[in-house]
Amino acid sequence: MRPASGEKRKAIGEQRRPQSAHAILNPRVTELIHTRGLPAIVVAFSFALVARIFGAVTDGGALAGVLIAFVLMVSAGLSGFAPLVAVFLLTLASTRWGYARKLRLGVAERRRGRTASQVLANLAPAAMCALPAIWFPELSELLLAGAVAALAEAAADTVSSEIGQAAAHSAYLITNFRDVPIGTNGAISIEGTVSGCVAACVVAWISAAYGVLDWRWTFVVAFAAISGMFLDSVLGATWENAGKMGNDAVNFISNVFAADAALLVAMVIERIARP
């Protein structure tokens, strides 16, 4: 049997090439990255620089923020930057508000800013959810709903904790509603809970206003984010207080839960609404 010609061997090799490699090298994906990549990296670095100047993040946290912002903007366009800015402003304002009281209570966040692990724990789930939208644009609406839910949960969790510590007169452990010192892991307050719910709704609304999210998903996203916020408190009151889990792990799991909840509900609604 004669060996295959050079052209025939090339054709056979192309047929055997993994589909994943073909997807990565898809001309549409390459064009998308080229079109959005440069503006995204410029905006991401500028955002990280501002956050670093304000002392909101450490050097490592700033680099982690660059990566997260870049992924969100490549996946959703430059408008994907809007919910990220909303989360940043909400968390920065709530962290700074009532700082003197938090210092007296011994629960104030350290001034040097959030580390890379903290940034990734709070924002990486959103980027992980949004990233596949680059290769699967037909699923981008659902994927971005999950990503925004993760961002909204991050805002809700931080705002509820910070506002609760700054304004609440009493706190209750979420598992048994017994009085506990303000700042205890798993403690909730009326002021903090209401503030967290508002923060989740604000992120969902801003995302829809800037076209990242369809308006019909705002309630789903806000509900998923608030559910994740309560899960964060439950995990804090149980596994974190027992020393079985750190705060970063609690935040990451709560973010993933919010994203998954939004995706699941959105898929069910889409299936029911489909003729």
pLDDT in tens, 60-100: 999 999 999 999 999 998 899 999 999 999 999 998 898 88
DSSP E strands in the chain: the ranges are 171-173, 179-180, 187-188
User: By three-state DSSP, how is residue 114 classified?
Assistant: strand
* pLDDT tens, position by position, 17-40: 444 444 555 666 676 666 778 888
The answer as to whether 14 is a domain residue is: no
- Say yes or no to pLDDT of 170 above 80: yes
| Torsion (CA) 123, 126, 127, 133 in degrees, nearest 10 | -170
Residue 2 has what DSSP assignment?
P
- Say yes or no to pLDDT of 109 above 80: no
Q: What is the pLDDT of residue 39?
A: 86
* pLDDT tens, position by position, 136-159: 989 999 999 999 999 999 999 999
Could you tell me the two tokens for 22? Answer: 């073909």
Q: pLDDT band for 262, please (50, 70, 90 cuts).
A: very high
The answer as to whether 35 is a domain residue is: yes
Q: pLDDT band for 16, please (50, 70, 90 cuts).
A: very low
User: By three-state DSSP, how is residue 171 classified?
Assistant: strand
The answer as to whether 15 is a domain residue is: no
User: Higher model confidence: residue 164 or residue 105?
Assistant: 164
Instruction: Compute φ and ψ for 212, nearest 5 degrees.
Output: -75, -30
Residue 198: CA count within 13 A, CB half-sphere = 13
- The C-alpha atoms of residue 14 and residue 263 are separated, in whole angstroms, by 35
pTM: 0.87
Amino acid, single-letter form, for residue 164: G
The answer as to whether 3 is a domain residue is: no
Partners of 188 in beta bridges: 172
- Residue 142's closest CA among 231, 275, 268? 268
Q: What is the pLDDT of residue 6?
A: 53
- Say yes or no to pLDDT of 105 above 90: no
Residue that the structure tokens 């980027």 belong to = 127
Could you tell me the two tokens for 76? Answer: 């959703």
* DSSP letter string, 18-58: -HHHHHHT-HHHHHHHHHHHHHHHHHHHHHHHHHHHTTSB-
Q: What is the pLDDT of residue 21?
A: 46
Instruction: Compute φ and ψ for 96, nearest 5 degrees.
Output: -80, -25
- The C-alpha atoms of residue 29 and residue 233 are separated, in whole angstroms, by 40
CB atoms within 10 A of CB 8: 10
The answer as to whether 5 is a domain residue is: no
The answer as to whether 238 is a domain residue is: yes
Quote the domain boundaries for residue 196.
23-273
The answer as to whether 11 is a domain residue is: no
Q: pLDDT band for 134, please (50, 70, 90 cuts).
A: confident
- Say yes or no to pLDDT of 205 above 90: yes
How many domains does one find in the chain? 1
CB atoms within 10 A of CB 144: 28
The answer as to whether 191 is a domain residue is: yes
Could you tell me the two tokens for 46? Answer: 């500028």
Number of helices (H) and strands (E) in the chain: give both, helices first: 11, 3
